[in-house]
Structure 1
Amino acid sequence: MHKKIALPLAVVLVLLITLSVGIPVSAAERIYQYDFEEDSTSDTFEDLLMYDFFDYKLPANTNSTATIQEEGDNQFLALEGYVSIRSWDEMQDYPYTFSLDIRQSVFNNIGFFVRGITPGEMTVINPRNANKEQDFDYFEVDWYTQNGGKNGTTTIGGSGIFVFPQENAFRVGVKVYREDGLTISSEYYDFPLPEGFSYDNFYNLEFTDNGTEVSISVNDQLLSKIVLSGPGKQYDTDNTTSFSYFETAEIQDASGNAVLTVQNTRVNSGASQLAIGVRNVALQIDNVSVSYEVPDNATPAPEEPDETEAPEETDSAPTPDASEATRTPAATATPTSGADSDESDSFPLGLVIGIAAAVVVILCVIIIIAVKKKKK
């Protein structure tokens, strides 16, 4: 009789082990850090370690460059001309932190973005640019006022939350949908520079995104928080339904006071592309870092970059609505050590549970057999 009981229990044992091994209960922490110390001054962008995580675009025939430069005992990445650097993959619905050190001597046509969509996924025919199919890369202006837009301003980029450093302020804003122009414009708020802040050296800019709130800090001081709501918004005039946006973005100061509420945003509600946009100016970056936590099977493989072309602009290139000023280049910055890493604090908990269940079942079988023998 004990055989009749032991057989079903053995089947249960096998099922428990199979199911427990197959349940993805662990999560992996990914940390990518690029301090450019292991890169060479002769490297192209595709040779750089950061190419593992970031794609790039340097339009042909524009003398645009992204090169490693040395200054004292520090190496950094110098960008000049028309440059777009953006994450290969759009970060999915999990928290992440995007941080980088920045040095600049101009205060126009430089932007840092999160919650963007991949350029080219949404395009518009631009009558003011020889009817070109405008793809709104991060160094491209949105051509809003140049196409008759009356309800916003022209800035670089086509989607996302942005920070545009200004000479006397940090401009924090979002790309928005408008019915006029090419349907893309911007709304923003200028926050005063933090107390004691100076552009004379590299400074740190950090974005922390939990899915509905994006916090922005400068040199570890909270500058602003953007609270997002109403995900899933789409616009009938767009030529794609592959993306959706947050309906509302509330820009807050460091104390949590709302300073600007924006409707009909172009802030990606399903994912987040991280990006840097530089339009015909110079910028230096260092210590780029991205960290996030995802299930082990949720990291897609990167794709190869598309070939790049020079911007086709028949009219005079529009200038974003911002003032421009210059400063003396900064002194040597202190390098921060860092290297690419892919770390995981996860543990195969499912396997442990399965083994424990198996032990319990085996003990039950042994006890039942022993009891049956004793009765005989």
Structure 2
Amino acid sequence: MCDLTDPRILETYTAMVEDQPTNWLILGYNDTRDVISLYSKGTEGLDEFRNHLSDEVLYGFVRVEDRFILITWVSDKVSGVRRARALVHSRSVASTLKLHNAQITASTLNDLSDNNIRNRLKLGDGNQLSSRRSSASLSQKRSFRRQSTQSSVPPTSPIVATDPVPAAAMVDQSIQDDEFVEANETFVTPPVSNSSDRFAEEQQQLDTTVNEYLEEEEKQRKLLLQQQEEEAERKRIEEQEKQAAAAAEKEAKRIAKEEATAKRLEEERLLKEKIEAERLIEEKKMLQLRLLEAEKNKDVVLSGYVSVQPCTSPFWRRRYFTIKGKSLAFYSDELNPNPVAVLDLNNVQRLSNVNIDAETFVPNAFVLETQQNGAYQLFADNRKERDTILTALQTVI
């Protein structure tokens, strides 16, 4: 298939068949594979036409007197594949430039000599040939006008000549009209010589070249299809890589956000712990000052409730306690003036947190051990109360 949609082709062709000054045109590919466009045109006939030929595939259409010849120009320097493509595309060119009386495939200027062209067009000297050419030209123009207007209305009545026409002239015109045949889809290269053997050999070579061209076209089609599939696969892989990269980027952003959040929370936690530690230190200092003042005045340093388990009992008892002077007294409640037990803090051997591996694990617990009374485990209601009791005992001890 080829593209012959260049509007200049039909314009120039129409001018030629309507006897305007333009009498030749040349079509070519213009560095394309299958787009055929108008290269040049002129009014000086075959000589000017031949001067515009070059070493490539061209298609010419020339008017010589009142007849038209379609020329497929294939230079000797053209490859076999392009030569075959030209022969195939020449069928489409012939279908577009229909009003031609002869076709020729040429590769040298000798093939396009005046004598050779005139012989192909059956042009010669004499009034008889001139009369035939005039009749043929009139028949061609009528045919072209019918095709151009695409009229489907038949004439209502036959045209009757007013002057008698000799029978010989009518027969001669009929013969000349039969000589013109429009191009059809079947392209056959006319033989250069009268030798049937040479024509058969050329036809065989032409068939071989066309087959090679068709095979090459099929290879090109498969190669193009393969390239399209590879391109589609490449795009699919690129799309997958883009999606994977986008997912990885999204995951990286999520992890970075989580890490930033965790870092911020950790910083906030450390800041809170620092503030809390500073507050506890400050409270401990204030408590120590208050406890020292109470001890100096022989007052109760600290009092409150705590759970107690002496080493002599497996049970925990909730007791009210007071720290006064160097003594720690336990009461059944704060209204009972008689203590259940009194520990001498001058003889403390151990004051520390509970060893969870060897001793009973109780939250906010600590151990107080003296020489006379043995070990006591105590635990407060919360961490703050535990720290306050430990601070008071450390201050007194």
Quickly name the TM-score band, shorter chain normalised. under 0.3
Greater RCO structure (CA 8 Å; 6+ sep): 1
Higher helix fraction (1 or 2): 2
Give the structure with the larger strand fraction: 1
Q: TM-score, normalised by structure 1?
A: 0.22
TM-score (norm 2): 0.21
